[in-house]
Chains A and B, each alone.
Chain A
Amino acid sequence: MGLVESGKIPKPLTKLLNMSRRYSMWVYQWGLACCAIEMGAAFASPRYDVMRLGVIPLPASPRQADFLVVSGTVTDKMAPAVRRLWEQMPDPKYVISMGSCANCGGPYWDSYSVTKGVDQVIPVDVYVPGCPPRPEALLEGIVLLQERIMNEDMAERWKGDPIVVE
């Protein structure tokens, strides 16, 4: 994609590319705690069926994934592994933080072993609140992420600068 790398994409082409990216996303699910079961209900159950949104669960490895769902409590012992697998994902990559624990620590806000929010380790695009959020809430979060991808300026996103967490 020479056009993309040079940063000069005509607007209609951006729209087309964004639309195709939006409806063909592999999701890497990082099931950690209670939310993992609700995520399983959203991804693997016939009632909620995430595939109708154009999202494909269960990639073989994070290297194939387009976005990551961190569902559950991230502990200080687990945080390096979260960071490591996020680093293995190819750009452009997105992160959904699911549930209070991943958002801010949740009911363990004063615990000695829990990381208070996964956004201290990796950048987060969409926060889904709830303890645990219902599967519908996760689907809503995915739709919000898709809208965000649709309105994205690809030249800005793919300039080649690495994403830095401050």
Chain B
Amino acid sequence: MATTESDQMAYIAAQAADARVNVEVETDEGMTLNLGPQHPATHGTLRIVAKLDGEKVLAAEPIMGYMHRGYEKLTEVRTYPQVTTLVNRIDWLGSFANEVPFILAAEQLMEVEAPPRAQWIRTVLFELSRIANISLFLGDMAVQVGATTPVFYAFRDREFVLNQIERVTGGRFHPNFDRIGGLKDDLPKGWIEETGAVLGKMRDFCDEMEELVLGNEIFQARTRGIGVIPPDVALSYGLSGANLRASGIDWDIRRDANVGLVYDEVDWKVWTHPDGDSFSRFWVRLQETREAINILEQLLGGIPSGPIMAKVPRIIKVPAGEAYVATENPLGEMGFYVVSQGDLTPFRVKIRSASFSNMSITPWLLKGVFVPDIISILASLYFILGDIDR
């Protein structure tokens, strides 16, 4: 492209009006309050424009796209092994969990299956990234309602989990470890025992969070009965993950539509809560972290021996066809719809990400709440901007 830097500056200046970050006052239909795109409560770059009558929200509209990086178009020019590098960065707190559905979809098209050991290690890393993801939510939710201490505990204890992920994959954040037909490497020596010790620490962390946050009177006053989503509305907006289960709907892809991971081998429980308010969304996520620790403890005891890689060609060409695989990611249902025409690169990849659908309920949910509750409701819905905008 022949754009010079001065051209780009002119373009940016022309767009500056759109990104004006200030409060406008309109007389006829209440005041307009603009939250974001740079606001600590929006987990990055979400922008919410709300019409207010005093402290009451008349209407609220999320404006997305500040983090749009064009994943679906980029996957069309990357080979299959290169795509995992990209999809890592969609939900950046639980990166490994993003790779799995894409790899499973590609495996389905190629009609290969990973050996049992690879499937077990995948499930272990999947659940570890769930703990890494949700532990930050537990601290962050407390920050959004005014308690600063829990986030320090969350960052402190999360490091232990990240260290374990790093010891296997080499990456704290973006492992890029999953391969079509298996995994890149085997577990290092002594890793299983170390992870067992870390899980004990995370169990203490969950207890600490329960005492610090859940039992707190101010926290309960800020979240109980706030942002209630009835089950039928939750279903009609396509919510998934803990947001759906907090509305009392007993649905978990890990149990009900499991593909390629070994959740059937362990004994575990899906947690639901009948209330559907901000408090129950926090409660469900806390119980899910405990359940993930429970699943991991059982999985670590029974990892089968054997190869970690199935027989796949060196240059991966995926036969023509279509496949959709969804998994229960930390944020909810993440699905990859892969269309292949027999090339080195996918013809089209549609990413169904959890946060985008979870976010779509905000105009309905924020109507009629008070301004401080916007923050606690957004925090309890728990979205990640990379997952919304892709």
Contacts and interface: CB of A to CB of B under 8 A. Distances in A.
A40 B19 contact: no
Interface in B10-54: 11-13, 15-16, 18-21, 37-38, 44-45
Nearest to A112: B70
B172 interface: yes
Contacts of B385: 33
Nearest to A73: B69
A52 interface: no
Contacts, number: 112
B236 interface: no
Interface in A8-43: 30-34, 36-38, 40-41
B5 interface: yes
A6 interface: no
A37 B384 CA distance: 11
Contact of B5 (A38, A131, A166): A166
Interface stretch (A76-84, A142-150, A152-160): A76-84
Given A32-B45, A37-B93, A45-B152, A111 B19 contact: no
A110 B77 contact: yes
A37 B77 CA distance: 28
A46 interface: yes
Contacts of A112: 70, 73
Contacts of A108: 69-70, 74
Given A33-B92, A75-B66, A107-B86, A80 B18 contact: yes
A141 interface: no
Interface string B251-272: 0000000000000000000000
Contact of A75 (B16, B68, B92, B159): B68
Contact of B67 (A73, A81, A165): A73
B151 interface: yes
A165 B69 CA distance: 25
Given A47-B156, A107-B89, A32 B21 contact: no
A120 interface: yes
Interface string A52-87: 000000000000000000001101111111011100
Interface string B158-202: 010000000000001110000000000000000000000000000
A46 B157 CA distance: 10
A50 interface: no
Contacts of B65: 75, 77
Interface string A77-121: 111110111000000000000000000000110111110000011
Nearest to B15: A80
A150 B20 CA distance: 36
A44 interface: yes
A131 B174 contact: yes
A132 interface: yes
Given A84-B21, A114-B70, A34 B174 contact: yes
Contact of B13 (A73, A77, A80, A81): A80
Contacts of B15: 76-77, 79-80
B305 interface: no
B237 interface: no
B9 interface: yes
Contacts of B152: 44-46
Interface in B71-87: 73-74, 77, 85-86
Contacts of A41: 155, 159
B136 A37 contact: yes
B69 A114 contact: yes
Nearest to A115: B8
8 contacts: A33-B385, A38-B173, A45-B156, A75-B69, A81-B19, A85-B38, A111-B70, A114-B69
Interface of B: 5, 8-9, 11-13, 15-16, 18-21, 37-38, 44-45, 65-70, 73-74, 77, 85-86, 89, 92-93, 136, 151-152, 155-156, 159, 172-174, 385-386
Given A38-B172, A47-B155, A75-B67, 4 more contacts: A33-B92, A46-B155, A46-B156, A108-B70
5 closest pairs, A vs B, by CB? A45-B155, A34-B92, A80-B19, A111-B70, A80-B16
